[in-house]
Amino acid sequence: MTALLRTDVVEGRDPATGDVLQVVVERGTIAEVRRRASRDADLPYLAPGLVDLQVNGYRGADVNGPDASADAVVAITEALALEGVTTWVPTIVTAAEEDIERSLRAVAAAKAAHPAVDSAVPWAHVEGPFLSSEDGPRGVHDPAHVRPLDAAEVERWRGAGPVGYTTVSPHGPDAPREISRIVRLGVRVAVGHTHASPDEVRAAVDAGATLSTHLGNGIHARLPRHPNALWAQLADDRLTCGFIADGHHLPADTLRVMLRAVGPRRAYLVSDSTALAGSAPGTYRTPVGGEVELTPDGRLSYAGTGLLAGAAVSLAHGLRFVLAHTGVGLPEALELVTGTPGALVDGPVAARGVIQAGRRADLVRLTPDGTVVDVVRGGERLPA
């Protein structure tokens, strides 16, 4: 890592216009953005740092289970930054309440001890334990710890560490009441891992749910043509939808249609990466699920089956996949990994994921296919 000078300039092309952007950085903050007309094809494109709202682990470090620690959160922060991801959300999965709170304390401790982590990690996402207990929608979440939706437990989590949102299945008559209570705590609610009916999805949104977690996954493999919970979420303009774009969780055609349906302002990409993301291809044994196989193209599956065992690539890979396989152009694709998720972190007025004076200088330079060339994180140049 190389610290920028007290005042320095980061230069790259605007992905939307091709103009050259000169971003003046002072003490880690964007002081000024200059623009000049140019069509210099050799200059990389310049974008905000990438924002990943769903990360379970990366390169051997995990925010779940017995290995969850402040050191793991620090390690993931540093590894992701090298991939261009300067903001990320630790995702804690279904477990006993004391285990969820242990992971949240690890996040809180890392933020308190390390300014770089505090800047990169706004809060945590708790995916579960209030999910469908049915095979299929439950995914690989531990059925022994799936339990009824309970706002009181969410309130207890907040005493252990920062919780930004939680993923729930809104099936059952008590779901709207509990969702409303969670939202009043200042915690967003996402719909996911669900067998809820379309009416139950709409009731959840009426109660305050605003997100969909990795839409198209965490649901029964066979559904009625219509109505079903997928159509209900795609159609509701009050929901902003996350998608895993690793090329395995959603076929390219499916992802392309879903992105068209919701548009870039209602869609964002997540990696949903596990601790095996970034590892060499091979066979591994994991605490949940046992033996898994990681192929050279990043597919992580249970050994001897075609069943997915999580995601194993970074958000930068998802950006490249969207550009290569969905017909989405670079400006719109970058919105999926910067502006839209950034607004969910900070709100539309103070959002990260934009290049603007007064914001933290988190920047990436990229090639036309989305490959990260280099990264600036809060005043430091990082090798890509």
What's the pLDDT tens digit per position in 150-190? Answer: 999 999 999 999 999 999 999 999 999 999 999 999 999 99
Judgement on whether residues 128 and 8 belong to the same structural domain of the protein: no
Judgement on whether residues 182 and 276 belong to the same structural domain of the protein: yes
Average pLDDT value for the chain: 93
Judgement on whether residues 331 and 261 belong to the same structural domain of the protein: yes
Local structure of residue 360 (DSSP, 8 states): B
Judgement on whether residues 42 and 161 belong to the same structural domain of the protein: no
Select from 264, 236, 210, 245 the least CA-distant residue to 370.
245
Judgement on whether residues 112 and 204 belong to the same structural domain of the protein: yes
Q: In total, how many domains does the chain have?
A: 2
CA distance 347 to 210: 13
Judgement on whether residues 197 and 303 belong to the same structural domain of the protein: yes
Select from 176, 186, 184, 239 the least CA-distant residue to 213.
239
What's the pLDDT tens digit per position in 26-74? Answer: 999 999 999 999 778 889 999 999 999 999 999 999 999 998 999 999 9
Which is it for the CA torsion 226, 232, 236, 239, positive or negative?
Answer: negative
Judgement on whether residues 296 and 382 belong to the same structural domain of the protein: no
Select from 372, 297, 381 the least CA-distant residue to 338.
372
pLDDT at 352: 83
The one-letter code for the residue type at 284 is: Y
Q: What mean pLDDT comes out for the span 131-158?
A: 95
Judgement on whether residues 219 and 270 belong to the same structural domain of the protein: yes
> 138: which residues sit within 8 A by CB, 6+ positions away?
131, 132, 146, 193, 218
What's the pLDDT tens digit per position in 100-131? Answer: 999 999 999 999 999 999 999 999 999 999 99
pLDDT at 29: 93
18: containing domain:
1-47+357-384
Give the predicted TM-score (pTM) of the model.
0.95
CA distance 124 to 121: 8
Which is it for the CA torsion 21, 27, 28, 29, positive or negative?
Answer: negative
CA distance 293 to 142: 20
Distances, alpha carbon 252 to alpha carbons 274, 282, 326, 329, in Å: 22, 25, 6, 15
What does the block give as tokens for 78? 């540093």
What is the domain-level CATH number for residue 36?
A: 2.30.40.10
Judgement on whether residues 163 and 99 belong to the same structural domain of the protein: yes
Judgement on whether residues 216 and 88 belong to the same structural domain of the protein: yes
What's the pLDDT tens digit per position in 194-214? Answer: 999 999 999 999 999 999 999
Judgement on whether residues 84 and 193 belong to the same structural domain of the protein: yes
pLDDT at 7: 76
Judgement on whether residues 43 and 54 belong to the same structural domain of the protein: no
